[in-house]
Amino acid sequence: MVRQHVGLSIILAASALAACSGGPAPDPLGSSREADQGAGNPEAGEQHFDQALPHTNGRTCATCHVASDAFALLPASVEARYQANPADLLFNPLDADDPTAALPTYDHLRKRGLIRITIPLAPNLDLVDADGNVVTNAERTISVWRGVPTVQNVALSAPYTYDGRAATLQIQALGALQNHSAVTKAPSPEMLDDIAAYQNTLFSSSGVASVAGALAAGQPPPDPDPDFAPGSPEALGKALFQQTCAPCHGGPTGTQIVDRAVQADFFPLLDQNGSPVFQILHDGTVIQSFDTSHPDDDFINLGISAFTYLTQIPPDQGGIPGPDDLTFPQYRVRFYTDATRTTKVFDLPPPEPLPSRNFFPQAFTVDPGRCIITGDPADFESFDIPQLRGISHTAPYFHDNSQPDLPSLLTFYSQFILPVIPPLNLPPVVPPSGPGQPPEALTADQKAQLLAYLLKI
């Protein structure tokens, strides 16, 4: 772990620059105050980050963003904390499997490091049941299970949270204090500025810090990678990363989708039922129609929620074994033309047996993703592109922590993601490893090279 402190004005400017790389994120808290990018004391912010603030339940930023976990929250450390002290402030009924239970359990936290995220619904949305009846709660909110992302390198990764609902670190901090620390009196703007200033000094390496400083100064950013010997596994992995990963995890910040053809491949045009528009030619070739109106932001739907959905249904209905026995929520989202919610567009997922955005029938979603805040059906099950610097210290991966380690993550991409992105021109080259397994786009040597590279960045 590296706490690299760089000049505050440089880092805050870099954060503002990085915000331009993603689409505009709404302020779910209704705050009209814009963050003062020149304000904030990082030393004071570190104290606010680590120590309980007044009018809270005692939880701090550091309760979930743990320094020894690279400022994320790893399942192994959660379990160690539970075994050492079940009364640890992390184990608050807010994040219990069932907050209303007489004896709360914390399997989502202990097994996968997941916390409950409650998000306001966009004004043109409702939740509906399997029969199409509106079941939106009185608060017009939805709750999902998501992992705790690291706050290292946030100077380069605006907007914040997996669905980008926080445009600034001040908004992100206030939302966390409200939803996880149960704050009853809003902290001062100056306190939020201090917390943001501190977070903007946290980097996974001095190389990443140098990129932030160069961007803020309007200079060409340096390569943050160490010098790899030519022909070494790390050097070969870096070249492979540029081919297979950088189209989405690209640009100086490592958070930008630089190949929009790749992004478009994950945003099919939807018909009047909410199903993808595609044609099947006489030779079996599938021709997909893309949603070309989708804004050029840095969000994408890789189908991760669909895989978690498959672990929630019986095998005789197409389900697959999950990594654990956790239960996830079942949601269907109704989209209307506007906030009056009088004219329905369609429901997602569409009614069975119609295919959903992921091209197979889906009875429900376990996490609707970004569409909850934008109200845009194109954002259904979409999430932000994360930066990957320091990734070897923040397993497990994806918004639902469904991939436990880097080898598993690389195999997942090799089997399910890379082969289905035509712009990458990576047809499967490795036969299935066993019954029920798909072929892969990467060889064992290529995965080893990518792993060697990811372990060093």
Fold exhibited by the domain 8-74+150-216: Cytochrome Bc1 Complex; Chain D, domain 2 (1.10.760)
**Model confidence pLDDT, tens digit, residues 99-145:** 999 999 999 999 999 999 999 999 999 999 999 999 999 999 999 99
Q: How many CA atoms lie within 13 A of 186 on its CB side?
A: 10
Query: Per-domain residue ranges for the chain?
Result: 8-74+150-216, 116-147+300-384, 233-257+405-454
Lowest mean pLDDT among 41-55, 186-200, 277-291: 277-291
**Model confidence pLDDT, tens digit, residues 392-451:** 999 999 999 999 999 999 999 999 999 888 778 787 788 887 887 889 999 999 999 999
Lowest mean pLDDT among 6-20, 292-306, 329-343, 412-426: 6-20
Give the pLDDT confidence score for residue 31 in this predicted structure: 36
Q: What is the pLDDT confidence band of residue 1, given thresholds at 50, 70 and 90?
A: very low
Please give the full DSSP string across 159-217, using - where no structure is assigned.
SBSTT--BSSHHHHHHHHHHHTS--SSPPPHHHHHHHHHHHTT--SSHHHHHHHHHHHT
Contacts of 179 (CB under 8 A, 6+ apart): 94, 117, 118
pTM: 0.89
**Model confidence pLDDT, tens digit, residues 60-104:** 999 999 999 999 999 999 999 999 999 999 999 999 999 999 999
Q: What is the pLDDT confidence band of residue 38, given thresholds at 50, 70 and 90?
A: low
Q: What is the pLDDT confidence band of residue 367, given thresholds at 50, 70 and 90?
A: very high
27: pLDDT strictly greater than 70:
no
Q: What is the pLDDT confidence band of residue 314, given thresholds at 50, 70 and 90?
A: very high
**Model confidence pLDDT, tens digit, residues 165-199:** 999 999 999 999 999 999 999 999 999 999 999 99
**Model confidence pLDDT, tens digit, residues 234-256:** 999 999 999 999 999 999 999 99
Residue among 125, 153, 166 at smallest CA distance from 15: 153
35: pLDDT strictly greater than 50:
no
349: pLDDT strictly greater than 80:
yes
Give the pLDDT confidence score for residue 354 in this predicted structure: 93
Give the pLDDT confidence score for residue 437 in this predicted structure: 83
Inter-residue contact 97 to 302 (CB < 8 Å) = no
- Burial class from Cβ neighbours inside 10 Å (0-12, 13-18, 19+) for residue 452 reads middle
